Amino acid sequence: AAKLAAMAAEAPSTTEFALALNVTKAGELVPCELHMRLHRHPAVDWKSCIVVVVDISRYLSAEDLLGAAARGDEAFDDLTQARLASRARPEEGGGGGAPSFPTD
């Protein structure tokens, strides 16, 4: 939450990426990417946030995501950076680039 607040304060529009676990109604853990777009309206200063959640279970297991989190911030950050890098290489299971958000 603190990171999102800092993002909102910094720029009129910001895009961020994170890894997270989602839970299905059946209780299954699903690793996901979160693509967050924060936007501040220039005239009235209203803030809004759009989040796109992408299931990446075919590329990353819940166990690997939890394992990195259990090893600490550095291991989790390394996993996040590796996932970002693989997104740029679809041949390695990256699935392509981030979702595109409208600019206005």
pLDDT tens for each residue of 5-59: 665 566 666 778 899 999 999 999 999 999 888 887 778 878 888 889 999 999 9
Q: Give the pLDDT band of residue 73 (cuts 50, 70, 90).
A: very high
Q: Which residue has the higher pLDDT, 14 or 66?
A: 66
Distance CA 12, CA 104 (A): 11
Q: What is the pLDDT of residue 71?
A: 96
Average pLDDT over residues 66-77: 94
Q: What is the pLDDT of residue 14?
A: 73
Outline where 11-93 has alpha helix (H).
Answer: 62-71, 73-87
Q: What is the pLDDT of residue 47?
A: 82
pLDDT tens track for 91-103: 555 555 555 544 4
H/E segment holding residue 4: helix 2-10
pTM of the model: 0.68
DSSP state of 91: G
Average pLDDT over residues 71-87: 91
Whether 1 and 16 have beta carbons less than 8 Å apart is answered as no
